[in-house]
A and B are shown apart, each in its own frame.
Chain A
Amino acid sequence: MTAPATANAVEHVVAGEVLAFPAQEPARAARDSRPLRLITCGSVDDGKSTLIGRLLWDTKAVKEDQAATLQRDSNGKQNDLGLPDFALLLDGLQAEREQGITIDVAYRYFSTDKRSFIVADTPGHEQYTRNMATGASTADLAVLLVDARVGLLEQTRRHATIATLMGIKQFVLAVNKIDLTDYDRARFEEISHEFRELALSLGVRQVTAIPVSALKGENVVYDGRAAMPWYDGPTLIEVLELATTRSAQTVGFRLPVQRVSRPGESFRGYQGTVAGGSVKPGDSVVILPSGMVANVTKIVTFDLVRNAAVAGDAITLVLDRQVDVSRGDMIVAIDSQPLTGLSFDAQLVALQAEGIQPGKRYWLKSGSRRQRVQVQPASQLDLKTGKWNQAEQLPMNAIGKVHLSFDEQAIFDTYEQNRTTGAFILIDPDTNNTVAGGMITAKRSALGGIHTEDARVILSLPADLADQLMATELFANRREEAEIRRVSAGKAVEIIDDIDG
Chain B
Amino acid sequence: MPHIHPETELHNPQSAKPPLDPHLKALENEAIHIFREVAAEFERPVMLYSIGKDSSVLLHLARKAFYPGRVPFQLLHVNTGWKFAEMIAFRNEIVERYDLDLIEHVNPRGAAENVTPFTHGSALYTDIMKTEALRQALDAGQFDAAFGGARRDEEASRAKERIYSFRTPDHRWDPRNQRPELWNVYNGMIRKGESVRAFPLSNWTEVDIWRYIQAEDIPIVPLYFAEKRPIVERDGMMILAEDPRLELLPGETKREEVIRFRTLGCFPLTGAIRSNATTLDDIISELETATVSERQGRAIDRDQSGSMEKKKREGYF
Interface residues, chain A, with chain B CB atoms under 8 Å away:
1-2, 30-35, 57-58, 60, 63-69, 71-72, 81-83, 91-93, 96, 99, 101, 104-109, 111, 115-116, 118, 130, 133-134, 137-138, 258-259, 261-264, 266-267, 269, 271-273, 298, 300-305, 312-314, 316, 327, 351, 363, 365-368, 419-420, 423-425, 427, 432-434, 437
**B22 and A32 form a contact (CB under 8 A):** yes
A-side contacts of B160, CB under 8 Å? 92, 104-107
Specify which of B6, B159, B178, B308 is in contact with A65 (CB 8 Å cutoff): B308
Specify which of B5, B12, B22, B68 is in contact with A1 (CB 8 Å cutoff): B22
B-side contacts of A302, CB under 8 Å? 12, 14, 63-64, 67
Interface hit among B127-135, B138-146, B299-307: B299-307
Bound-complex Cα distance A327 to B203 (A): 26
Contact of B37 with A by CB under 8 A: yes
| 9 A-B pairs in the complex with CB atoms less than 8 angstroms apart | A60-B317, A68-B308, A69-B303, A99-B176, A106-B160, A116-B23, A303-B12, A423-B185, A434-B181
The 3 A-B pairs at the shortest CB distance, nearest first, are namely A304-B15, A264-B4, A263-B69
**B176 and A68 form a contact (CB under 8 A):** no
Interface members, chain B 15-41 (any A CB < 8 Å): 15, 17, 21-23, 25-29, 32-33, 36-37, 39-40
Bound-complex Cα distance A104 to B229 (A): 45
Contact of B292 with A by CB under 8 A: yes
**A82 and B68 form a contact (CB under 8 A):** no
Interface members, chain B 94-131 (any A CB < 8 Å): none
**B5 and A263 form a contact (CB under 8 A):** yes
Bound-complex Cα distance A108 to B291 (A): 18
Contact of B175 with A by CB under 8 A: yes
Specify which of A33, A258, A263 is in contact with B33 (CB 8 Å cutoff): A258
Contact of A314 with B189 at beta-carbon distance under 8 Å, contacts A68-B311, A368-B40 already known = no
B295 to chain A, nearest CB (A): 8
**B23 and A273 form a contact (CB under 8 A):** no
A-side contacts of B152, CB under 8 Å? 107, 109
A193 to chain B, nearest CB (A): 34
B-side contacts of A31, CB under 8 Å? 21-23
A-side contacts of B67, CB under 8 Å? 300-302, 316
Contact of A83 with B313 at beta-carbon distance under 8 Å, contacts A92-B159, A271-B36, A432-B191 already known = yes
Contact of B66 with A by CB under 8 A: yes
Q: Given contacts A81-B316, A108-B159, could you give 15 more A-B pairs where the C-beta distance is less than 8 Å?
A: A58-B317, A60-B317, A65-B292, A109-B203, A138-B182, A258-B37, A267-B5, A267-B68, A271-B65, A303-B12, A304-B11, A316-B68, A427-B187, A432-B187, A434-B182
Contact of A366 with B178 at beta-carbon distance under 8 Å, contacts A64-B311, A267-B5 already known = no
Bound-complex Cα distance A63 to B306 (A): 14
**B11 and A261 form a contact (CB under 8 A):** no
Bound-complex Cα distance A63 to B287 (A): 11
Contact of B89 with A by CB under 8 A: no
Nearest residue, chain A, Cβ from B205: A109
Contact of B7 with A by CB under 8 A: yes
A-side contacts of B153, CB under 8 Å? 109
Contact bitstring B176-194, A, C-beta under 8 A = 1, else 0: 1011111111010111000
B-side contacts of A82, CB under 8 Å? 313, 316
Interface residues, chain B, with chain A CB atoms under 8 Å away:
3-7, 10-12, 14-15, 17, 21-23, 25-29, 32-33, 36-37, 39-40, 63-70, 152-153, 156-157, 159-160, 175-176, 178-185, 187, 189-191, 202-203, 205, 207-208, 290-293, 295-296, 303, 305-311, 313, 316-317
Contact of A33 with B12 at beta-carbon distance under 8 Å, contacts A302-B63, A314-B65 already known = no
Contact of A312 with B26 at beta-carbon distance under 8 Å, contacts A92-B157, A105-B160, A365-B187 already known = yes
Contact of A34 with B176 at beta-carbon distance under 8 Å, contacts A302-B64, A314-B33, A419-B183 already known = no
**A269 and B68 form a contact (CB under 8 A):** yes
B-side contacts of A314, CB under 8 Å? 28-29, 32-33, 36, 65
A-side contacts of B176, CB under 8 Å? 99, 101
**A432 and B203 form a contact (CB under 8 A):** no
B-side contacts of A65, CB under 8 Å? 292-293, 295-296, 306, 308
**B68 and A263 form a contact (CB under 8 A):** yes
B-side contacts of A266, CB under 8 Å? 6-7
**B182 and A63 form a contact (CB under 8 A):** no
Bound-complex Cα distance A162 to B109 (A): 53
Bound-complex Cα distance A65 to B203 (A): 21
Bound-complex Cα distance A261 to B67 (A): 8
A-side contacts of B21, CB under 8 Å? 30-32
A-side contacts of B70, CB under 8 Å? 263
**A259 and B40 form a contact (CB under 8 A):** yes
A-side contacts of B309, CB under 8 Å? 68
Nearest residue, chain A, Cβ from B295: A65
Bound-complex Cα distance A134 to B183 (A): 8
Nearest residue, chain A, Cβ from B40: A259
B-side contacts of A66, CB under 8 Å? 293
Nearest residue, chain B, Cβ from A89: B156
B-side contacts of A423, CB under 8 Å? 182-183, 185
A-side contacts of B295, CB under 8 Å? 65
Bound-complex Cα distance A93 to B7 (A): 51
**B39 and A137 form a contact (CB under 8 A):** no
A-side contacts of B5, CB under 8 Å? 263-264, 267
Nearest residue, chain A, Cβ from B14: A303
**B183 and A351 form a contact (CB under 8 A):** no
Specify which of B40, B68, B180, B207 is in contact with A327 (CB 8 Å cutoff): B40
A-side contacts of B179, CB under 8 Å? 433-434
B-side contacts of A105, CB under 8 Å? 160
Specify which of B156, B205, B292, B311 is in contact with A93 (CB 8 Å cutoff): B156
Bound-complex Cα distance A64 to B191 (A): 43
**A34 and B178 form a contact (CB under 8 A):** no
